[in-house]
Structure 1
Amino acid sequence: MGQSNLICSTQPIVAHAGDDVILSCRLDPPISASSRTVEWTKPGLDPEYIHLHQDGRLVYQSQNPLYNYRTALFVDQLINGNVSMKIFRVKTSDAGKYKCFLPSLWKEAFIELKIGQSNLICSSQPIIALAGNDVILPCRLDPPISASSRTVEWTKPGLDPEYIHVHQDGRLVYQSQNPLYNYRTALFVDQLINGNVSMKIFKVKISDAGKYKCFLPSLWKDSFIQLTVENKKDHDKGPEEGTGETELLVNRQENMEDLDDEKLKERVEEKSDMMYAISVLTERKNEHEHHRNKLMSQIQRVETERTENEKKLHQQQNIMDVPALCIRLLTDVSVLLVVQLYHSCFALRADAAFPSVSPNRLQHFEYETFTVNCEEFTGLTEWRVMRNLQTPITPAVSDTWNTSASSCSINPSFKQHSGEYWCEDAEGRTSRAVNITVTDGSVILDVPARPVVQGHDVVLHCLKEKSESELSADFYKDGSHLGTRYKGAAMTIQNVSTSDEGLYRCEISGAGESPESRLAVLQRTEDTHPPVSQPLNFLSLLWTVVLVAPLLLVMGFCLSWKDTGLTKQSEVIYRCYEPDVSRDGTETRVPDKRVYSSVYYRPLTPD
């Protein structure tokens, strides 16, 4: 078999600070590098590893912290021999010589990266404009580089707020703009690609005069430009004519402009209030329509039942006698008694429960074993574990799942097993879900699977795979840094409250960071226990007495009625049907399993 050479670009790669750049290298003739180790290093740097691709993934532990989250290989193109590396948001310090090395082939090649500098140049001469006209404050990048994906900030020092126009992520950020410049500024968006960052101000006012600053954070470049605004009448008359009258007109114009700004601001606020009121009224209207439709449906159902009952009563009124009526009443009371006993014994509150997870945490390493359990749930029907995966399960791991089981162990676990897990019974009642994450990284956050009760303490541990030593770790909540723990990599939150809810993650220097998981907090009024069969309480006993008393009276009345010559009885028969559920272990959710109760009334001949 012929040898394959590693070829990188012989010409230096030139990029500008803040841009993304590709250091292109390939195997020629092409052979697959999918299962090979690819090492990108920068000689002279400590540690020198920029990107180490091994066993199909990046080895975070060996990567230089200066390049964390800023490098990537084209993994889908490794099979074609493309081992190029992409560096995101290039810095000036990234300039230098890089080395690509494949140990299995003992091939290496070098490539040089240069960081080009571009200056921000604005007009050195003051820009003069007439009040009421439009004006352009010219600024450009020289040599020209694209500013399409960069943040461009135009400010006026001394103004509060000072932001005149902030262009970020391809659009104007209205929230930071000074209200005096609302709807009066614009950039030449189609020319940003050529480095033109000039700003246009519409209908210039006397108060717009002053010094303006243009700033590009990604290049850390700024420049200033002066704007002078003249009154039109002063410009037409010249400097020597009507000085006193001109000053009076200028003052009047400024007062009118301030008044117009105040009126515009009031109208904008009124419009905002009206839009909010309209949204609230629309929401309430939809709620009222929903309740109305529901009520109309209930009324229609009651009317239908009433009509059917009237027909049945009309058909039976000629043949109905007192003993038959007694039997009917006896049967109805018996049914009510049985229903009351059923609800007293098997009332479930599935919406206030969570499945049990062992080990009790939301994050797990790949190849670990974890179990989701619904055996704490009780009732007349069986509970089973259900889940909704973030990614489809591969055939190689599909045999680890059974949707009809009350307990499910994932062994071994893979990243594809990440998703929501919950419990569900045959009648469609579900528990609350827990969001389990399986990561192929080296760090996880030990956060409880079940919510923490308000007022309790909770301890969060930052765990590194296959490491029992005590490491320091940084903890974050909703992207904000909470602090650093130096002993045992654990953080304790005392007297937990609802304000502690959020997305938590942790980071161990040199090892990487964990995924994010939500810490949920339950108020004390919420039921944190799984639904169980409740014993008969005093209220249930009272209901039983209330129902049994009329039953005994009706039985005595029926037995005392002897003029008809025969006694009619009724028998209540209860039958339960539970459809079979497939247990073939497929990954699709099984159809809803229902438990039906049927009641038959059968007249019996007297003994």
Structure 2
Amino acid sequence: MEITSAYLVMSAVLTIRPDRTQFFRYEAFTLSCAVPGHFTGWRVKRNTSTGSFVPCQNNWGRPNGSLCMNRKVFSSDSGQYWCESERECSNVLNITVDTGVVILESPALSVTVGDKVILRCSYREIWAQSSSSDFNATFYQNGTFIGTLPQGQMIIEKVSKSSEGFYKCQHPTKGESPQSWLSVKGDEAKAPPVPTPPLMSLPSLVCTILLFILYTGILMLCVHTYRKWARARADAKRTAPDHL
């Protein structure tokens, strides 16, 4: 469903802490709506399996100005989150609360071409209080195998538009994560165009032609003069009397 279609302007940015879109059950996250000026009239809302366009309130979150704090999330908290006023809205975050034991930690918002991005594969037992990435994790982009990497993380030193896509990871024995969309904004760096030589104007072209004709005439005159002088000298040697 397209949340923003009924609004005129997208003028706010919704962020989430921790900065990811996948969570284990019983974890917590905080949503923050950044709005230029005052926050008055803005509300954080969500669309999940338990209700559509529901504002941040006691049954799923605690509102605090521009913040909405969600404690102990469950699979029913999976869905779309955004903030809105009467005629404006923010971006939409698609948040997944997984019932499994493996998740992929990836940036919630778009990254920029050239940024360094770390994708982390995390594993947590259902009864455990903390997660771990200390294992060799296998990563996939758009369903295609990328590689098996140590410490449960994949580092993209400089993202490009080709880095955009759906990612997921896999634990060696405990299963795989849901997939998350990595959005990349910005254009690829382009090589500067090769400058073309400027076209010669008509007066410059005429002057160049005249100078070429002049230099050619002078060169021909010099060659003719030299040949005439050489011929005269040769004739003088032939007619000169021999001396003993």
CA 1:392–1:481 in 2, change beyond 3 Å: closer, same or farther? same
Measured against aligned partners, the alpha-carbon deviations of 1:281-317 in whole angstroms (never above 9, x if no partner) come to xxxxxxxxxxxxxxxxxxxxxxxxxxxxxxxxxxxxx
Are residues 1:378 and 2:36 paired? yes
Q: Partner residue of 1:431?
A: 90
Report the 3-state secondary structure (helix = DSSP H, G, I; strand = E; otherwise coil) of the residue aligned with 2:10: helix
Measured against aligned partners, the alpha-carbon deviations of 1:265-296 in whole angstroms (never above 9, x if no partner) come to xxxxxxxxxxxxxxxxxxxxxxxxxxxxxxxx
> What TM-score do you get using the length of structure 1 for normalisation?
0.26
CA 1:521–1:421 in 2, change beyond 3 Å: closer, same or farther? same
Measured against aligned partners, the alpha-carbon deviations of 1:111-130 in whole angstroms (never above 9, x if no partner) come to xxxxxxxxxxxxxxxxxxxx
Are residues 1:492 and 2:162 paired? no
Q: Partner residue of 2:175?
A: 512
Higher relative contact order (CA 8 A, sep 6+): 2
Q: Partner residue of 1:305?
A: none
Identity across matched positions, percent: 39
Q: Contact (CA 8 Å) 1:420, 1:435: kept in 2 or not? A: yes
CA 1:404–1:500 in 2, change beyond 3 Å: closer, same or farther? same
1:499 partner amino acid:
S
Q: Partner residue of 2:116?
A: 457
Q: Partner residue of 1:161?
A: none
Q: Partner residue of 1:220?
A: none
Q: Contact (CA 8 Å) 2:12, 2:36: kept in 1 or not? A: no
Are residues 1:410 and 2:70 paired? yes
Q: Partner residue of 1:586?
A: none
Q: 1:373: Cα distance to partner? A: 0.9
- Which of 147, 150, 170 matches 1:483? 147
Q: 1:498: Cα distance to partner? A: 1.8
- Coordinate RMSD, CA, aligned: 2.5
CA 1:514–1:469 in 2, change beyond 3 Å: closer, same or farther? closer
Report the 3-state secondary structure (helix = DSSP H, G, I; strand = E; otherwise coil) of the residue aligned with 1:379: coil
2:20 partner amino acid:
R
Q: Contact (CA 8 Å) 2:168, 2:176: kept in 1 or not? A: yes
Q: Contact (CA 8 Å) 1:458, 1:492: kept in 2 or not? A: yes
1:432 partner amino acid:
N
2:145 partner amino acid:
H
CA 1:454–1:353 in 2, change beyond 3 Å: closer, same or farther? farther
Q: Contact (CA 8 Å) 2:21, 2:106: kept in 1 or not? A: yes
The structure with more helix, counted as a fraction of residues? 1
> What TM-score do you get using the length of structure 2 for normalisation?
0.63
Are residues 1:357 and 2:20 paired? no
- Which of 66, 69, 82 matches 1:422? 82
Q: 1:434: Cα distance to partner? A: 1.2
Report the 3-state secondary structure (helix = DSSP H, G, I; strand = E; otherwise coil) of the residue aligned with 1:488: helix
Q: Contact (CA 8 Å) 1:385, 1:405: kept in 2 or not? A: no
Report the 3-state secondary structure (helix = DSSP H, G, I; strand = E; otherwise coil) of the residue aligned with 1:361: coil
Report the 3-state secondary structure (helix = DSSP H, G, I; strand = E; otherwise coil) of the residue aligned with 1:354: strand
* 1:199-214 paired onto structure 2 within 5 Å: none
1:429 partner amino acid:
E
Q: Contact (CA 8 Å) 2:21, 2:94: kept in 1 or not? A: yes
CA 1:515–1:398 in 2, change beyond 3 Å: closer, same or farther? farther
Q: Contact (CA 8 Å) 2:9, 2:89: kept in 1 or not? A: yes
Distance across 2 between alignment mates of 1:477 and 1:438: 21
2:166 partner amino acid:
L
CA 1:373–1:448 in 2, change beyond 3 Å: closer, same or farther? same
- Which of 137, 143, 151 matches 1:473? 137
In structure 2, stretches of 5+ residues that fail to align are: 1-7, 52-56, 125-129, 189-244
1:507 partner amino acid:
Q
Measured against aligned partners, the alpha-carbon deviations of 1:222-270 in whole angstroms (never above 9, x if no partner) come to xxxxxxxxxxxxxxxxxxxxxxxxxxxxxxxxxxxxxxxxxxxxxxxxx
Q: 1:461: Cα distance to partner? A: 0.5
Q: Contact (CA 8 Å) 2:62, 2:70: kept in 1 or not? A: no
CA 1:403–1:411 in 2, change beyond 3 Å: closer, same or farther? closer
Report the 3-state secondary structure (helix = DSSP H, G, I; strand = E; otherwise coil) of the residue aligned with 1:506: strand
Distance across 2 between alignment mates of 1:435 and 1:392: 15
Distance across 1 between alignment mates of 2:84 and 2:160: 29
Q: Contact (CA 8 Å) 1:362, 1:517: kept in 2 or not? A: yes
Report the 3-state secondary structure (helix = DSSP H, G, I; strand = E; otherwise coil) of the residue aligned with 2:109: coil
Q: Contact (CA 8 Å) 2:133, 2:152: kept in 1 or not? A: no
Distance across 1 between alignment mates of 2:133 and 2:142: 27
